[in-house]
Amino acid sequence: MGRKFFGTDGIRGRVGTHPITADFILKLGWAAGKVFSEQTEGRKLIVVGKDTRVSGYMFESALEAGLIAAGVDVALLGPMPTPAIAYLTRTFRAQAGIVISASHNPYYDNGIKFFGGDGFKLPDDIEESIEKYLQNPIVTEDSSKLGKAHRVDDAAGRYIEFCKGTLPTGSSLQGLKIVVDCANGATYSTAPKVFRELGAEVVELAAEPDGFNINEACGSTQPALLQNAVVAENADMGVALDGDGDRVMFVDHKGHAVDGDELIFVIAKYRHEHGGCSGVAGTLMSNLGMEVSLKELGIPFVRTKVGDRYVIEALRERKWQLGGESSGHIICSDLTTTGDGAVAALQVLHAMRETGTPLNTLKKGMKKFPQSMINVRIGEKFDLSDFPVIQDAVAAAEDELKDRGRVLLRPSGTEPLVRVMVEAEDAQLVDKLVREVADVVKSEVG
């Protein structure tokens, strides 16, 4: 059975448009409760957290009702970062964790994503089991078997202590001035405290959520606000998180943005020089410069499909500890089970403090390759094997690039588009080849 509602990162969409409606989320809570109830005997507990969107109140109540109807106890965490919910799912020995969030999307979107009891995202078979129950009418358990709900008052404190504990004992950020952009999202009450309690001077930015301003002209996807603030405050750096706190971007002391690929390189190089880095997992969109730079250091690198769940799968298969995406999803699997913006930021700051080197110097070890992408709108499902003319165009471009560049054609998972991307050391060659390949794609399927 295929999945109708679950995408690569849960279920997401516009609030009020199916399936992001109160009645569907109520039934989703019940279906999830039934599936997880079947996996264990005795006490059944699921933790539920959310970001700061106004619709979170509605969906929290709907999930709570559905889970209780299925006979499951509910621990309500309130606004908490996605990685905090993964962590607390493990520490509470819960059967699952549920996050109400649409990550970096605007406030009028929302979504639901799940973690298993181990703190990892659900495997496909569990999501398919939940979808199977969604086909059935809700059947409420007998009153004697209904679940109960309680609020966890110390959730934020538990997570803050966890983040601080990912650094070696005695680590300090004393003397650093950091601007922290919380995207008016789930990290507004945790991230500034993590850095402040480790000794840093913290300037808070976008840390006053009102239900509507999450990700609005702020956060990791829109770093201009942070860049200006770092320069104006004469800060040592800036840290930008997204709405649910699972991705991070930096700004160096000169106001230059530092993306996820560069941050992964900084962490990998430091680990390689201080005890070893077994390997790094990136995605099809990871910058070729990172791959080349890592290989020059003797650090193995592998690419996966786009999506942090695929990066995590690759890390688990290879028993590696570091991976992520250029968007700032960075997974340190020796420390936690999912992308965690605060934890990744601390790893970067630790490398800076221990080496006594500013970020703009550390990132110079990786030369970013120029990258250009053109979106070609298509009218049908795209499969490269069906278009030999396009295959020939790609092959010709790859031949011209030799081994110092790459061509990628990737159908969008959400729109009728093919993304044509070329990446190489020579920016002019990149621009020429991406236009040539895109023109062929347009003539064939546009």
**What gap in Å lies between CA 325 and CA 310, rounded to an integer?**
11
DSSP conformation class of 145: G
How do 237-241 and 177-181 pair as beta strands?
parallel
Strand partners for 376 = 418
103 is catalytic: yes
- Residue type at position 407: V
Residues 6+ apart with CB under 8 A from 57: none
SS (H, E, C) 273-287: HCCCCCCEEEECCCC
**What gap in Å lies between CA 20 and CA 16, rounded to an integer?**
6
Please tell me the total number of residues recorded for the chain in this structure: 446
The alpha carbon of 59 is separated from its chain's Cα centroid by a whole number of angstroms, namely: 21
- The runs of H, that is alpha helices, within 100-241 are 124-134, 155-164, 191-197, 224-233
Could you give the strand order of the β-sheet that contains 405-411, starting from the edge strand earlier in sequence?
Answer: 371-377, 417-424, 405-411
Say which of 101, 103, 129, 327 is annotated catalytic: 103
Residues with active-site annotation: 103
